[in-house]
């Protein structure tokens, strides 16, 4: 028998209607927010939500308010038909695909422009690393995530460790604003050679695709050194930088070791020590991270 097609809604009213029907069946709402262009990394989040045996809502919305003026929102890959197939295969129960007007009826903000509506700002964590390179990015992320939580009434929401600074920002928001949604952080899904899966990987030339594996190698090497007893953060950072710098075409934006919750640089290795890397290969910018302490689970 053919599988029934996955229900899709595009308005807040229809979303709430579907969610309240699920609640009447005593289902809790497990939510996976995405910007589409789905790959197995996204699917792993949906699969984990599905495994919890609850009602799984996936949103697909390319959020303009987290794009900077130099970041090309129009060029962001949009593959809706394929995305919906992937959502269905991974076990979603409902796909939510709102329009920009549905989400921002008072005008569509961008990361740089004054907001026509209320926004959420998480100071400190939002201003360093990705936030320093992409001013306003995390304000856009925090605001859309809180809006989506409120729209669907998420009990549990799934995010990827791949975007570790986003995780830190959202944990902080949920804590500070008493948001009743529980966050579940899922491990980074990688290609066979270790490269973190990303919708941007398709833009790498074959040579750069090969060379980009240095990011995973540098992170893994740092983790191995810690296991072997190296505790000096300066030495570990220097080793990672050296590995990146000898690879042709690799331009690093940052390499650091921070506390995963606060994103403050760390002086010594502890369970929350997270090595973070951002590097560019031609026009493609990649980020990745790894917990360095042997006892830390998610990486
Ligand atoms: P995006 O569509 O890029 O906003 O990503 C949606 C969610 O998928 C975010 O929580 C990401 O952290 C997560 N994600 C992206 N890539 C991966 C990956 N390789 N492994 C696990 N989660 C991922």
Phi-psi region of 254 (alpha: psi -120 to 50; beta: other; left: phi over 0): beta
Does the CB atom of residue 44 touch ligand 1 within 6 A?
yes
Most ligand 1 atoms within 8 A of CB, residue of 140, 145, 162 to mutate: 162
Ligand 1 atom with the shortest distance to the CA of 35:
2
What's phi and psi for 42, nearest 5 deg? -65, -45
Q: What is the pTM of this model?
A: 0.96
* C-alpha of residue 41 to centroid of ligand 1, in Å: 6
Sheet with 250-259: list strands edge to edge. 250-259, 273-281, 284-291
Radius of gyration of the chain (CA): 19
Pick the catalytic residue from 17, 30, 39, 42. 42
pLDDT at 299 over 60: no
Q: What is the pLDDT of residue 3?
A: 66
Catalytic residue flag (residue 42) = yes
* C-alpha of residue 62 to centroid of ligand 1, in Å: 13
pLDDT at 46 over 60: yes
State the pLDDT confidence band at 297, using cuts at 50, 70 and 90. low
Say how far residue 26 (Cα) sits from the centre of its chain.
29
* C-alpha of residue 163 to centroid of ligand 1, in Å: 7
Q: What is the pLDDT of residue 261?
A: 96
Does the CB atom of residue 196 touch ligand 1 within 6 A?
yes
pLDDT at 112 over 90: no
């Amino acid at each position: 028998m053919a599988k029934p097609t996955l229900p899709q809604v595009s308005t807040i009213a229809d979303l709430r209607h579907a969610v309240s029907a699920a609640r009447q069946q005593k289902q809790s709402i497990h939510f996976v927010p995405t910007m589409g262009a789905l790959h197995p990394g996204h699917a792993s989040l949906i699969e984990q939500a599905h495994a919890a045996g609850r009602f799984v809502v996936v949103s697909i919305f390319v959020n303009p308010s987290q794009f900077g003026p130099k970041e090309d929102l129009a060029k962001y890959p949009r593959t809706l038909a394929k995305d919906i197939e992937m959502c269905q295969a991974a076990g979603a129960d409902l796909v939510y695909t709102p329009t920009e007007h549905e989400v921002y009826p008072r005008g569509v903000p961008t990361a740089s422009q004054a907001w026509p509506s209320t926004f959420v700002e998480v100071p400190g964590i939002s201003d360093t690393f990705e936030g320093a390179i992409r001013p306003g990015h995390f304000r856009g992320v925090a605001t859309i995530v809180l809006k989506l939580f409120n729209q669907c009434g998420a009990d549990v929401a799934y995010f990827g460790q791949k975007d570790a600074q986003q995780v830190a920002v959202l944990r902080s928001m949920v804590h500070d604003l008493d948001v009743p949604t529980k966050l579940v952080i899922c491990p980074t899904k990688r290609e066979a050679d270790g490269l973190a899966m990303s919708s941007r990987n398709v833009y790498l030339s074959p040579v750069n695709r090969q060379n980009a594996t240095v990011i995973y190698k540098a992170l893994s090497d740092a983790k191995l050194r810690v296991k072997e007893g190296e505790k000096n953060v300066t030495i570990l950072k220097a080793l990672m930088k050296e590995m990146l710098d000898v690879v042709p075409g690799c331009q690093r934006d940052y390499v650091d070791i921070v506390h995963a919750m606060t994103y403050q640089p760390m002086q010594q290795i502890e369970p929350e020590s997270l090595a973070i890397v951002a590097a560019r290969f031609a026009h493609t910018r990649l980020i990745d991270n790894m917990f360095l302490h042997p006892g830390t689970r998610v990486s």
